[in-house]
Amino acid sequence: MTNSDGQGQNNKEQQMYKKMAKSYQPKPNIWVNCLKAFIVGGLVCTLGQLLQLMFISGFGVEPSSAGDMTSATLIFIACLLTGLGVYDKIGQWAGAGTAVPVTGFANSIASAALEHKSEGYVLGVGGNMFKLAGSVIVFGVVAAFFIGLIRTLLMYITG
């Protein structure tokens, strides 16, 4: 017997199979996963803060420039750990905690570059690592343009 979409019995079997398969799936421990993400994300941010303080007090860098140096250092560390295969292991354990914007973005670009290096540096590494980064960069540039435009208009209006 079939219903109006022609699926009939097959559709019921699929639903029963999905229900049975779902009963065997492990249940994620959300609270433990959140705690792991919080700890690792907090450690990444703490490392960033310590680096920034080191640049300011240890090397006499201006606070306005220390943020750039901190970001560059965190990006370097994330790329190095990705290349050594350590970042992925941390990511498997910590989950979203490794998605802290600077390090998570650096990991995603470095992973794409490593994955496609066998295709060559230009078409493999260069072409594929910016598939993800391209959309983020375009969004950032467009958002910065509109924010700058709004700021300029507000400055012009308020005199």
Q: Show the tokens assigned to 85.
A: 């295969």
pLDDT tens-digit series, residues 118-143: 888 777 777 777 777 777 778 888 99
Residue 134 has a pLDDT of: 73
DSSP letter string over 101-127?
HHHHHHHHHHHHHHHTGGG-IIIIIIH
Average pLDDT, the chain: 87
d(CA 153, CA 80): 43
* Average pLDDT, integer, range 52-78: 95
Closest CA to 87 of 72, 71, 102: 102
Beta-carbon contacts of residue 89 (< 8 Å; ≥ 6 apart): none
Q: Which H helix or E strand runs over 89?
A: helix 86-94
State the residue for tokens 């998605």: 99
pLDDT tens-digit series, residues 72-102: 999 999 999 999 999 999 999 998 888 887 8
Q: Taking a C-beta distance cutoff of 8 angstroms, is the pair 103, 77 a contact?
A: yes
Entry pTM: 0.68
Cα separations in angstroms, 41 against 65, 99, 154:
23, 8, 36
